[in-house]
Amino acid sequence: MATEKACKKCKIIVHGKQCPICKGQELTTNWRGLAIILSPDKSEIAKQIGIEIPGEYALKVR
């Protein structure tokens, strides 16, 4: 079971109470799959999810 939270909008894993990208607080622990994106412009996964900022991302967020 995931204890980390992910932003529902950006899918980034949030280590705190606020999303570092959208500054939102719509976080969920109901996410699956972890992708660590270091170079969004070179990552196929990043393109699929629509990631532009390096970080840890959930592949699926509900």
Residues in the site for Zn ion, rule: CB under 5 A?
7, 9-10, 19, 21-22, 24
Shortest approach of Zn ion to residue 21 CB, angstroms?
Answer: 5
| CB closer to Zn ion, 21 vs 45 | 21
Cα 59 off chain centre by? 7
Residue 31 and residue 24 in contact, taking contact as beta carbons nearer than 8 Å: no
- Nearest approach, Cβ of 7 to Zn ion (angstroms)? 3
Q: In the numeric block, which tokens belong to residue 23?
A: 């500054």
Instruction: Report which of 32, 31, 14 is spatially closest to residue 23, judged by C-alpha positions.
Output: 14
Closer to Zn ion by Cβ: residue 16 or 39: 16
